[in-house]
A and B are shown apart, each in its own frame.
Chain A
Amino acid sequence: MSEQTLKQWLLSDAPTSRMQARVAGLYQGWLRLTSNWMTLTGLIILTALVLVAVCAPLLAPHDPFEQDLLNRLKPIGYDDHYLGTDSLGRDILSRLIYGSRITLYIVALVTLIAPVVGLLVGTVAGYLGGWTDQILMRTTDVFLAFPRLVLALAFVAALGPGIENAVLAISLTAWPPYARMARAETLTIRSSDFIAAIRLQGAGPLRIITRHIWPLCISSLIVRVTLDMAGIILAAAGLGFLGLGAQPPSPEWGAMISEGRRFILDHWWVATIPGLAIFTVSLAFNLLGDGLRDVLDPKDGGHG
């Protein structure tokens, strides 16, 4: 197929097969996602982050753990330390590059747990109602009632310190708001005619929840998650600061900030540079979240 006809095939307004419709739908979603430069920026930053994480050993100029006490706290651009060195003389750029792996790991783990648990609990509670609703939502309330960090501390104390457990603890404390949100949406969707219609085709609760309710809840959930991502990265850093998250000498960005805090007045870059990195990544997530909302919603706002 030549360039022109492939494009026509993808953009046809009257697809002839289901496969064509699906591929065309994906392609048009992609076009929509990339037609907004802000979303595109977010996407590029995050792709770059993934690439950096994958190629860390190739990109990093130094060993991120190699200490050089003679060259500690050197400023940006010193010798071949492009972003300076930290209090133990380790190259900040290299640590940042290796740290991106940890950041990605946190992000992946949290997005795998918190929203999924929240969505599951919220939609099941909202759709089934009655006792199921009572039990699930009271459980959610219990989780919500504890201050987040205290709960996370308890989890980490039980599971043992370490970045995985810290993230696990954060995810377990992060799901209740998602569950609340998903339940509220489910309640308005549940009484609508299109749910009644599919019930009349003989669909069971499992199919209705996963195929008919989830697609309507997921877009707002994704947006919420991308907006919360910055807070989650910082919470992981907070646990690291308390000695319960990433363990030294791991180059986790949050841990780097808390380490650099001691020198913030005289050697600002030690804390600022990982801070900027966190800021950039969070911003990228927010930009992408906004764009995704548009793509996931086939009707641009409004009904009718």
Chain B
Amino acid sequence: MTLLTVNDLWVRFPTRQGVFDAVRGISFELGQERLGIVGESGSGKSMTGRSILQLIRKPGVVQAAEISFQGRNLMELSERDMRSVRGNEISMVMQDPKFSLNPVMTIGAQLMEAYLQHNRDSRQNARNKCIEMLEAVSLRDPERVMDAYPHEMSGGMGQRIMIAMMLIPDPKILIADEPTSALDVSVQRQVLSIMDRLVRDRGMGLIFISHDLNLVAEFCDRVLIMYAGRIVESCPASKLREAKHPYTRGLLNALPRLDNPRTHLEVLQRQDDWTHAALEETQ
């Protein structure tokens, strides 16, 4: 079942010099699956995620033939309807976890506020639920975390708190922007398995933005590879290692490997025609 259809999406930043296109006419569909978006820094991954929720800051503009979610075109919703979509149906874990938290409120207070907004429950129950959630993302000592302020958390703890928070409303789609970039592999696995369960048991759709090719190859069902605002390749995740596009190959070769020590890593040689190349979607 298709949850989200994106058709010809553009994100533009009008500078007075001309228009900078961060995302150039991409189209994709999301079912009840784990869709990975990979690509180099600045290729427009975050902008794609944010534009679905209309979270592009001024002066940026989103244009799309359609972004339809359960038969509704998100492009046509009012700001008020959009807010309720954002709160209840599509959640997003931002790339900058600490900035998404209020610096002068304890983490517990923020989690409980989010929980109580979606559930009628007593404060004590809410607190227990939140602690449970923090445990689920394998935070040690959740009681301390509840009473701490965001700046007292390490990078990876911040990310896990954001993930816990986004799962509260029980969303139909979760957009996770580099949700595990600060986590070590073992915690990463636990967090991924939570998302995995949500996809399998509750039929959630997951858009997983990452630059970690190994992780995406392993965890996702399907991968979109972005370059300069376009999708240059789209393939099943298991086939990622056999990818054809020179850009994808370049990315794969740039990875340091435990079994193959080198003094210098291979660097991607960018070619101009990648930018112009037509979208070759193989869905």
On chain B, the residues within 8 Å of A13 by CB distance are 15-18, 20
Stretch at the interface among B78-86, B91-99, B200-208, B255-263: B91-99
Q: Assuming A13-B15, A304-B96, is B57 touching A188 (CB within 8 A)?
A: no
- The residue that A12 contacts in the complex, of B17, B95, B151, with Cβ under 8 A, is B17
Stretch at the interface among A109-117, A269-277, A294-302: A294-302
Judged by DSSP, the binding face of A is loop
- In the complex the two chains form, what is the Cα distance from A10 to B34 in whole Å? 46
**B17/A8 in contact, CB under 8 A:** yes
**A304/B17 in contact, CB under 8 A:** no
Question: Any chain A CB within 8 A of the CB of B270?
Answer: no
Q: Contact residue range for chain A?
A: 10 to 19
Min Cβ gap A144→B in Å is 21
- In the complex the two chains form, what is the Cα distance from A304 to B58 in whole Å? 12
Question: Any chain A CB within 8 A of the CB of B250?
Answer: no
**B17/A302 in contact, CB under 8 A:** no
0 or 1 for each of A18-49: is its CB under 8 Å from B? (1 = yes): 00000000001001000000000000000000
Residue of A whose beta carbon sits closest to that of B20: A13
Which residue, of B16, B17, B46, B100, has the highest number of chain A Cβ atoms within 10 A? B16
Question: Any chain A CB within 8 A of the CB of B71?
Answer: no
**B57/A301 in contact, CB under 8 A:** yes
- In the complex the two chains form, what is the Cα distance from A299 to B135 in whole Å? 36
Give me 20 A-to-B residue pairs in the complex whose CB atoms sit less than 8 angstroms apart, sorted by A's number.
A8-B17, A11-B16, A12-B17, A13-B17, A13-B18, A13-B20, A188-B103, A191-B151, A300-B57, A300-B58, A300-B59, A301-B57, A301-B58, A302-B57, A303-B99, A304-B46, A304-B57, A304-B95, A304-B96, A304-B100
B interface residues (Cβ-Cβ under 8 A, vs A): 15-18, 20, 46, 50, 57-59, 94-96, 99-100, 103-104, 151
Q: Which 5 pairs between the two chains have the least Cβ-Cβ distance?
A: A11-B16, A303-B99, A300-B58, A13-B15, A13-B17
